[in-house]
């Protein structure tokens, strides 16, 4: 009796149905957030103790369906099919029952042990939608719990129903999802072929489910089936059956199956749902009207972006200043004195300049900028504004081979690349994420703006600095188009739900922010500290001069820069402003025009803008893309930087001669 029984519960549902609110209500602070193995899909897990049960709650990614459209859908269905959680709670938006039941039917089809959390009952009521919950329960054959998650209504009942089901107090008779006569005939023929030829796969997933997925022409399942030697036979059978269905119905087979699911849903809905004429326009609809308006929408977008910018970079800047003043004025001198009194100079330098500087750099970036950005991102996500911004910018983003959603990370890159890189995960496919990642590391962030203004702006004028920005934008656009053409796969168009506006709640926003920041610190800090340690080692040991000598044929010969500039370029990896600061230190003068020709200034700035931004961004990339792609992005950007620097040197020198 003392031993707690462990129950695995998975939360499934469409995006924007309040799933994460329910997750937070259930688990409180006992969460861990990470990625699903091998995927850039967020995985949140938490625990709940109830009546002697230890309930482990897995928050599956929000999906509209369980086809192979995105990583999220594959993660969700593989978890349900292979890990077989004890209970699957399907959160359903009561105000959009028709679209939401589509996923529910697919979950029933997988024989998932289902409970329906019918959320947003209040929104449904305000839209004049009335649902007969008991009747829905009877038809679906699984418990349906009405909920209003933001107020916590229905949470307790949900949990006690989970326990009742586990203990067998509630009997369930899940609805058998059946299709039309021809489709059913096709499914059962194919099912037989699957269980005869692919016993291994059929034991993992159910044969009927595989048969349906094959008829839906699901790429992922086709790939898995064809990896078996007997798979080709099954694929031939499925091709034949699908072809026959298509001939009879005259539609592609995935559409036939989807249509039949929807017609079943419509039969269910006509039984359980009554829509009364609604009398007034809701606030969400009014907001929607103005924020997607062809004129006012852009004005609102501009002001939202401007306020995010100022919040992140003024607010973040203030916090950074405050934190660095604490470190610079008190902590560092104090630790420095202490180290010097007990350790020889070599080691104390290593500790103070190496490790401590790394920690300080990490804290002064992560806390002010990343944390502030995460809060704002969470508010934007939870309010439902992001899809509106994506809608407005879709047209422009298509010109660089992406769609509207990419706009937000890209624009944030102008402030700091770190949050921008993390923001890439809002894109649906790997392909889009990779293109966006490439482009974002090229966006000149605030630190690089310091360099551009401090060198080119100061000595060659503002116009020259602005034309560098323009040049950068052109390179980004061209590279975007190039990547879009050359990467495999088709660019996907925008297909995006526009959810209702909702008031973001403080607790979910803070939870989300805290878990993401913590996650970032885990990944970024070791890298930043190690990087700064290695660089300090290189400096103290005098290796730095060897490196700059070694690089000189390239730096002076090819790029036409003074030999010394290799050093600031190397240290710029730590933080981009360092290139300017170290240049001044190395020349022992802030009059850079005495040491650099205008051409050299331009070339130096171009290289600084384009080569891999800084170690914190590399860490963020690593977090989002994994090692291989991070290396690819890093080296590609270094290569691009030197290529552009070399070309600029060549062209400008030529122009100079003329």
Partner 1 sequence: MIIVFFRNRRIKRLIPCILEIILALKNRGIPPNVNIISKRLGVNPQIVKRALDEAFSENLLLKDSWELTDSGRSLILKHRGKFIHDKFMHKSPIFKFSGTFNNLSSHLKSNHGFSSNDVASIKDSLSSLQGRIEELMPLSKIPPKSKCVVVLTIGGYGFVRRLADMGLTPGVEVLVERNAPFGGPIIVQVRGSSVALGRGVASKILVRLLEA
Q: Please report, as ranges, the residues that interact with partner 1 according to CB under 8 A.
A: 64-65, 67-69, 95-99, 102, 216-217, 219, 246, 249-255, 258-259, 262, 288, 292, 294, 387, 390-392, 394-395, 398, 403-404, 490, 493-499
Q: Smallest distance, Å, CB 490 to partner 1?
A: 6
Burial class of residue 228 (count of CB atoms within 10 Å of its CB; 0-12, 13-18, 19+): middle
Cβ proximity to partner 1: between 102 and 369 the closer is 102
Contacts of 650 (CB under 8 A, 6+ apart): none
Cβ proximity to partner 1: between 132 and 246 the closer is 246
Cβ proximity to partner 1: between 383 and 467 the closer is 383
CA distance 578 to 478: 29
Q: Taking Cα atoms as reference points, which of 396, 400, 393 lies closest to residue 479?
A: 400
Q: Smallest distance, Å, CB 410 to partner 1?
A: 17
The answer to whether the CB of 360 falls within 8 A of the CB of 327 is yes
Q: Smallest distance, Å, CB 177 to partner 1?
A: 16
The answer to whether the CB of 115 falls within 8 A of the CB of 165 is yes
Beta partners for 118? 92, 146
Contacts of 168 (CB under 8 A, 6+ apart): none
Q: Smallest distance, Å, CB 175 to partner 1?
A: 20
Contacts of 610 (CB under 8 A, 6+ apart): 442, 472, 475, 637, 640, 641, 644, 645
Cβ proximity to partner 1: between 362 and 387 the closer is 387
Cβ proximity to partner 1: between 199 and 489 the closer is 489
Q: Look up tokens 């034949």; give the residue.
A: 240
Q: Smallest distance, Å, CB 432 to partner 1?
A: 13
Cβ proximity to partner 1: between 42 and 428 the closer is 428
Burial class of residue 563 (count of CB atoms within 10 Å of its CB; 0-12, 13-18, 19+): middle
Cβ proximity to partner 1: between 282 and 324 the closer is 282
Q: Smallest distance, Å, CB 388 to partner 1?
A: 9
CA distance 215 to 109: 14
Q: What is the arrangement of strands in the sheet containing 87-93, beginning at the earlier edge strand? A: 31-35, 42-50, 53-59, 5-13, 87-93, 114-119, 144-146
Q: Smallest distance, Å, CB 495 to partner 1?
A: 6
Cβ proximity to partner 1: between 243 and 553 the closer is 243
Cβ proximity to partner 1: between 258 and 505 the closer is 258
CA distance 316 to 354: 25
Cβ proximity to partner 1: between 391 and 515 the closer is 391
- Cα distances (angstroms) measured from residue 475 to each of 29, 442, 507, 553: 45, 9, 42, 27
Cβ proximity to partner 1: between 317 and 491 the closer is 491
Cβ proximity to partner 1: between 256 and 442 the closer is 256
In this structure, how many other beta carbons lie within 10 angstroms of the beta carbon of residue 5?
A: 13
Q: Reduced to 3 states, what is the DSSP secondary structure of residue 572?
A: coil
Q: Look up tokens 């104090």; give the residue.
A: 334
Q: Smallest distance, Å, CB 218 to partner 1?
A: 8
Q: Smallest distance, Å, CB 264 to partner 1?
A: 13
Q: Smallest distance, Å, CB 254 to partner 1?
A: 4
Q: Smallest distance, Å, CB 587 to partner 1?
A: 51
Cβ proximity to partner 1: between 395 and 653 the closer is 395
Q: Smallest distance, Å, CB 215 to partner 1?
A: 11
CA distance 565 to 451: 14
Cβ proximity to partner 1: between 219 and 337 the closer is 219
Q: Look up tokens 């559409």; give the residue.
A: 255
In this structure, how many other beta carbons lie within 10 angstroms of the beta carbon of residue 251?
A: 13
Q: Smallest distance, Å, CB 117 to partner 1?
A: 18
Q: Smallest distance, Å, CB 497 to partner 1?
A: 6
Write the DSSP assignment of 411-436 as a string of letters: HHTTT-HHHHHHHGGGSSSHHHHHHH
The answer to whether the CB of 395 falls within 8 A of the CB of 300 is no
Q: Smallest distance, Å, CB 491 to partner 1?
A: 9
Q: Smallest distance, Å, CB 263 to partner 1?
A: 9
Contacts of 47 (CB under 8 A, 6+ apart): 27, 30, 54, 55, 56, 57
Cβ proximity to partner 1: between 108 and 155 the closer is 108
φ, ψ of residue 519 to 5 degrees: the values are -60, -40
Cβ proximity to partner 1: between 250 and 542 the closer is 250
Beta partners for 31? 46
Instruction: Output DSSP code: residue 606.
Output: H
Q: Look up tokens 């950068």; give the residue.
A: 472
CA distance 61 to 59: 6
Q: Taking Cα atoms as reference points, which of 576, 280, 606, 522 lies closest to residue 413?
A: 576
129-150: string of b/e by CB count within 10 Å (b at 16+)? bebebeebbebbebbbbbbbbb
């Amino acid at each position: 009796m003392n031993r707690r029984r462990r129950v695995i519960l998975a939360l499934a549902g469409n995006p924007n149905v309040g799933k994460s609110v329910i997750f937070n209500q259930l688990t409180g602070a006992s969460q861990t957030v990470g990625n699903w193995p091998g995927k850039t899909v967020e995985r949140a897990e938490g625990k709940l103790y109830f009546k002697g049960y230890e309930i482990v709650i897995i928050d599956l990614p929000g999906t509209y369906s369980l086809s192979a459209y995105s990583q999220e859908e594959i993660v969700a269905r593989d978890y349900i099919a292979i890990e077989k959680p004890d209970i699957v709670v399907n959160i359903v938006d009561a105000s959009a029952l028709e679209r939401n039941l589509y996923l529910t039917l697919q979950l029933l089809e997988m024989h998932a042990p289902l409970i329906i959390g019918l959320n947003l009952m209040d929104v449904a009521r305000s839209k004049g939608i009335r649902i007969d919950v008991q009747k829905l329960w009877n038809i679906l054959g699984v418990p349906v719990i009405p909920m209003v998650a933001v107020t916590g209504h229905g949470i307790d009942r949900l949990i006690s129903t989970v326990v009742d089901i586990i203990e067998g107090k509630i009997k369930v008779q899940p609805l058998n999802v059946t299709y039309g006569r021809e489709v059913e005939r096709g499914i059962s023929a194919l099912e037989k072929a699957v269980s005869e030829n692919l016993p291994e796969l059929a034991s993992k997933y159910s044969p009927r489910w595989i048969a349906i997925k094959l008829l839906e022409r699901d790429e992922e399942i086709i790939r898995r089936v064809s990896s078996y030697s007997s798979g080709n036979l099954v694929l031939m059978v499925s091709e034949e059956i699908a072809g026959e269905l298509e001939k009879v119905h005259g539609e592609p087979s995935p559409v036939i199956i989807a249509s039949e699911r929807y017609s079943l849903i419509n039969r269910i809905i006509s039984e359980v749902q009554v829509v009364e004429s609604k009398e007034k326009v809701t606030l969400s609809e009014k907001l929607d009207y103005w924020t997607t308006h062809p004129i006012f929408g852009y004005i609102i977008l501009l002001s939202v972006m401007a306020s995010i910018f100022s919040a992140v970079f003024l607010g973040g800047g203030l916090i950074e200043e405050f934190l660095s003043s604490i470190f610079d004025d008190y902590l560092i001198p104090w630790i420095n004195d202490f180290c010097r009194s007990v350790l020889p100079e070599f080691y104390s330098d290593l500790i103070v300049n190496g490790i401590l500087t790394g920690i300080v750099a990490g804290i002064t970036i992560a806390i002010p900028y990343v944390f502030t950005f995460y809060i704002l991102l969470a508010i934007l996500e939870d309010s439902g504004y992001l899809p509106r911004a994506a809608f407005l910018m879709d047209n422009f983003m298509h010109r660089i081979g992406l769609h509207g959603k990419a706009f937000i990370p890209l624009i944030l890159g102008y402030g700091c690349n770190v949050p921008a890189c993390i923001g890439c995960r809002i894109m649906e496919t790997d392909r889009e994420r990779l293109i966006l990642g490439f482009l974002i590391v090229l966006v000149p962030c605030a630190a690089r703006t310091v360099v551009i203004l401090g060198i080119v702006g100061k000595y060659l004028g503002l116009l020259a600095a602005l034309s560098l920005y323009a040049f950068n934008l052109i390179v980004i656009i061209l590279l975007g188009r190039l990547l879009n053409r050359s990467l495999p796969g088709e660019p996907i168009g925008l297909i995006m739900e526009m959810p209702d506006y909702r008031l973001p709640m403080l607790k979910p926003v803070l939870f989300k922010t805290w878990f993401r920041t913590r996650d970032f610190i885990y990944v970024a800090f070791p890298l930043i500290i190690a990087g700064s340690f290695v660089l300090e080692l290189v400096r103290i040991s005098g290796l730095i001069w060897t490196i700059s000598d070694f690089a000189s044929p390239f730096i002076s010969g090819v790029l036409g820069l003074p030999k010394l500039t290799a050093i600031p370029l190397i240290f710029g990896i730590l933080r981009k402003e360092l290139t300017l600061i170290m240049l001044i230190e190395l020349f022992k003068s802030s009059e850079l025009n005495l040491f650099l020709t205008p051409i050299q200034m331009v070339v130096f700035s171009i290289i600084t803008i384009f080569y891999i931004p800084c170690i914190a961004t590399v860490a963020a990339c690593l977090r989002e893309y994994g090692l291989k792609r991070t290396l690819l992005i890093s080296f590609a950007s270094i290569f691009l930087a030197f290529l552009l620097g070399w070309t600029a040197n060549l062209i400008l020198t030529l122009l100079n001669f003329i």
